């Protein structure tokens, strides 16, 4: 199965960002991609206004997603991204959506909000309280995660114990001391924790690192992007995954109970 991760610098203008997403979707579909992952919080971003993502929040039937859903009707590809959806006055939910054949087939409200490194996502964003169901793409079971979730091994393990073979991760990974090292280390660690493939898309620009990655179940990078707009591809194999899990049966050797949400 061919997977892709697309990255770009989100602008303050949502129609511009929607057109960029549509362009990446078309390129991925033309390359016979089954699963495309785009970054986190794609509606709008402004380097001078840290609250722009929430201020620009749209309902799931808003103009931004209508444009992307219109594009998804023209192919059989599954596309994953996140947007902010209004909740109460001045607040929003960081919501991952899965698009296929012109429909939203799954959604997930981000569990772990980024209250770290002098940033407080929870100031304007409401956390979710439930794991999403697994989705299936070409017979492959997919677990859904968003950005800061990567730092919490329980969510990936919970997905893997339910049968996930791939973990997808839209992100806007903020720049800072050692942050790129954290990114690379955590992606490899989560792949090894779960013996899953990981498809991670990172928003780029002045504030975020980009560096989208496709990681195999042994923590090896199969495809990687730099700092600018880019679309990367990799082919993943359930046969390879089965071989890895036979050699490294961490999911069956574990001695702890499955994780659960508090």
Contacts of 77 (CB under 8 A, 6+ apart): 25, 28, 29, 33, 34, 35, 36, 100
Enzyme catalytic residues: 40, 110, 147
**Which is nearest to 167 in space by CA: 189, 192, 197, 133?**
197
CB 109 within 8 A of CB 79: no
Angle, vertex CA 173, rays to CA 167 and CA 174, nearest 5: 165
Contacts of 179 (CB under 8 A, 6+ apart): 117, 173, 209
Neighbouring-strand partners of residue 94: 84
Tell me the CA distances in angstroms from 212 to 57, 73, 227, 239, 248, one per residue in order: 24, 26, 9, 24, 26
**Which is nearest to 173 in space by CA: 130, 203, 144?**
203
SS3 at position 217: coil
């Amino acid at each position: 199965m061919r997977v892709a991760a697309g990255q770009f610098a989100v602008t303050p203008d949502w129609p511009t960002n929607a057109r960029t997403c549509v362009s990446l979707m078309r390129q991925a579909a033309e390359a016979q991609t089954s699963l495309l992952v785009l970054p986190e919080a794609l509606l709008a971003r402004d380097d001078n206004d840290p609250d722009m993502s929430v201020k620009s929040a749209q309902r799931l039937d808003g103009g931004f997603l209508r444009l992307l859903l219109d594009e998804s009707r023209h192919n059989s590809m599954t596309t994953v991204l996140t947007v902010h959806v209004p909740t109460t006055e001045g607040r929003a939910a960081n919501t991952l959506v899965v698009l296929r054949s012109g429909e939203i087939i799954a959604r997930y409200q981000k569990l772990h909000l980024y209250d770290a490194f002098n940033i407080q996502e929870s100031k304007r964003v409401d956390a979710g309280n439930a794991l999403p169901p697994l989705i299936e793409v070409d017979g492959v079971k997919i677990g859904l995660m968003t950005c800061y979730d990567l730092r919490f091994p329980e969510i990936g393990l919970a997905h893997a114990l339910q049968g996930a073979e791939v973990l997808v991760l839209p992100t806007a990974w903020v720049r800072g001391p050692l942050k790129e090292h954290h990114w690379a280390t955590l992606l490899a660690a989560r792949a090894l924790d779960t013996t899953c493939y990981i498809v991670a898309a990172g928003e780029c620009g002045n504030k975020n690192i980009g560096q989208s990655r496709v990681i195999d179940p042994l923590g090896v990078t199969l495809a990687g992007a730099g700092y600018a707009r880019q679309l990367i591809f990799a082919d993943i194999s359930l046969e390879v995954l089965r071989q890895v899990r036979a050699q490294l049966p961490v999911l069956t050797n574990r001695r702890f109970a499955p994780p659960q949400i508090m």
